[in-house]
Amino acid sequence: MDQFQSEGGELMVGGIPLRRLAERIGQTPFYAYDRELLTRRVAELRAALPAGIKIHYAMKANPMPAVVDHMARLVDGIDVASGRELKVALDSGANPHEISFAGPGKRHEELRQAVAAGILINIESFREVSELAAIRQATGWPVRVAVRVNPDFELKSSGMKMGGGPKQFGVDAEQVPALLAEIGQAGLAFEGFHLFAGSQNLRPEAIVEAQRKCFDLALRLAESAPSAVKFLNLGGGFGIPYFPGEQRLDLSSISANLAAIATEAREKLPEAEIVIELGRYLVGEAGIYVCKILDRKVSRGHTFLVADGGLHHHLSASGNFGQVIRKNYPVTIGDRSDAPAGEAVSVVGPLCTPLDILADRMALPEAHPGNLVVIFQSGAYGASASPQAFLDQPRVVEVLV
């Protein structure tokens, strides 16, 4: 992957050769995130998008505190999905005014935490309205809310659909007017709408269509709102390339569309700030997962490289995090990256399950015990999205370099 350079056959991470970095960390397996790549990604995105569009970081993609601290300085807000993520976001120094909280099952304690912190709560049910009303009565504190809407359409060709049809997320668009009335009666401070149609989309035309439809839906719903819309989160869903044949997303049409939306919003929702929220797109390409080869075995003519890391650290690369058909993430041998990818091998982990595969029949440079396997595109949905306790192997270490 071209965002990482090699020197003398060795991958460089944040200016440090991979083997030196492994020594510095003192163990494999590890995740390494490149600070400079994170900074560059946000800068490039800002340059590509029209001025005035706010960028939020959906921290569930990578909740490592050092990463969240770094991102908080670059983006305009942080989206959290639990009370514990909220703590990390607040610790990062992010302005509570710019933190929002979404999730289909917010516990009462989490709602109280959110109110006490003064963040924006994306309401996803009628139950949340009554609980927040009670919290407001008990504390007297203002309760800032937006409505997370389950749109009446689907995001086409999204890796993971999270809106349209029956969904546990948000409130169906057709129920939103009734919900808005309850929000008004309860004296909650209504600020706007949150629409999120899906994730990992690499088709600009599908994202354009979804953002346009989300905006039109928000305009319709705003007619039932108890006060002016100040916040309009149009979601994101920007994907990154993982598999052969996939290309990086071309932002030009998305940007033009957002510019048109922003212009229209200035007239129709003059107080609204337009936000997109991204997780994977901001952090995914800046991270690698590194493990060491323990064994090289040939079974009936097929070579297996058995590594000290696997699905317990990197469930998505193993193909078990929602993928329908398993495909290989981009992989290399990080301390032999200039050698020809001359042999078709499988890289497997140490777990006693055939699901523990990191690369299946993939052409790689010849590798032996001690060499380092690198999985690219691993900055999002890695360590925190993996079942680390499974088989009680050593935990993975994460570093921001």
From first CA to last CA, the distance across the chain in angstroms is 18
The contact mask relative to ligand PLP for 250-289 (x = CB under 6 A, - = no) is ---------------------------xxxxx--------
Handedness of CA 126, 207, 227, 175 (dihedral sign): negative
Give the bridge partners for 77, in sequence order: 56
Nearest Cα neighbor of 123 from 175, 53, 62 is 175
> Which listed range, 55-63, 113-121, 124-132, 317-325, lies at the site for ligand PLP (CB under 6 A)?
55-63
Identify the residue among 28, 82, 92, 199 touching ligand PLP (CB under 6 A): 199
Under DSSP, the state recorded for 377 is S
- Using CB under 6 A as the binding rule, whether residue 210 contacts ligand PLP is answered as no
Q: Least distance from C-beta 11 to ligand PLP, angstroms? A: 25
- Is 61 a binder of ligand PLP (CB under 6 A)? yes
Q: What are phi and psi of 249, to 5 degrees?
A: -65, 130
User: Smallest gap, in angstroms, from Cβ of residue 322 to ligand PLP?
Assistant: 11
List all residues 6 or more positions away from 246 whose beta carbon is below 8 Å from its beta carbon: 202
Q: Which is nearer to ligand PLP, 115 or 380 (CB)?
A: 380
Q: Given 47, 325, 352, 389, which residue is catalytic? A: 352
CB crowding 224-256: b at 16 or more within 10 Å, else e: ebeeebbbbbbbbbbbbbbeeeeeebebeebbe
User: What is the C-alpha to C-alpha distance for residues 12 and 200, in angstroms, rounded to an integer?
Assistant: 27
Residue nearest to ligand PLP (CB): 279
Part of the chain binding ligand PLP (CB under 6 A), chosen from 181-189, 196-204, 211-219, 257-265: 196-204
- Looking at the Cβ atoms of 179 and 293, the one nearer to ligand PLP is 179
- For the bound state, the minimum distance from the C-beta of residue 307 to ligand PLP, rounded and expressed in Å, comes to 26
Interatomic CA distance for residues 140 and 131, integer angstroms: 14
Q: Which is nearer to ligand PLP, 194 or 313 (CB)?
A: 194
What lies within 8 Å, CB to CB, of 315 at 6+ separation is: 321, 381, 385, 386, 387
Query: Is 290 within 8 Å of 28 (Cβ atoms)?
Result: yes
**CB-based contact 217:161 (threshold 8 Å):** no
Would you count residue 18 as binding ligand PLP (CB under 6 A)?
no
Tell me the closest approach of the beta carbon of residue 167 to ligand PLP, in angstroms: 11
The C-alpha atoms of residue 123 and residue 118 are separated, in whole angstroms, by: 15
Would you say 144 or 280 has its CB closer to ligand PLP? 280
- When the beta carbons of 143 and 146 are compared against ligand PLP, the nearer one is 146
List the one residue from 11, 22, 32, 60 that touches ligand PLP (CB under 6 A): 60
Residue pair 132/186 in contact by the 8 Å Cβ criterion: yes
Site for ligand PLP in 304-323 (CB under 6 A): none
**Which range of residues in 56-64, 149-157, 259-267, 292-300 is near ligand PLP by CB under 6 A?**
56-64
Number of amino acids touching ligand PLP (CB under 6 A):
16
Query: 228 - beta bridge partners?
Result: none
- Which residues share a beta bridge with 13? 16
Q: Per-residue x/- mask for ligand PLP, residues 229 to 248, rule CB under 6 A? A: -------xx-----------
Nearest alpha carbon to residue 289 among 325, 341, 329, 319: 329
Tell me which DSSP letter residue 207 carries: H
Residues 67-106 that bind ligand PLP (CB under 6 A): 79, 102
Give yes or no: 291 in active site: no
Among 101, 196, 215, 289, the residue binding ligand PLP under the rule CB under 6 A is 196
Output 29 or 103, the one with its CB closest to ligand PLP.
Answer: 103
At 288, the amino acid letter reads: I
DSSP letters, 22-44, are: HHHHTSSSEEEE-HHHHHHHHHH
Per-residue binder mask for ligand PLP (CB under 6 A), 133-172, x = binder: ----------------------------------------
Active site residues: 352
Name the site residues for ligand PLP (rule: CB under 6 A): 58, 60-61, 79, 102, 196, 199-200, 236-237, 277-281, 380
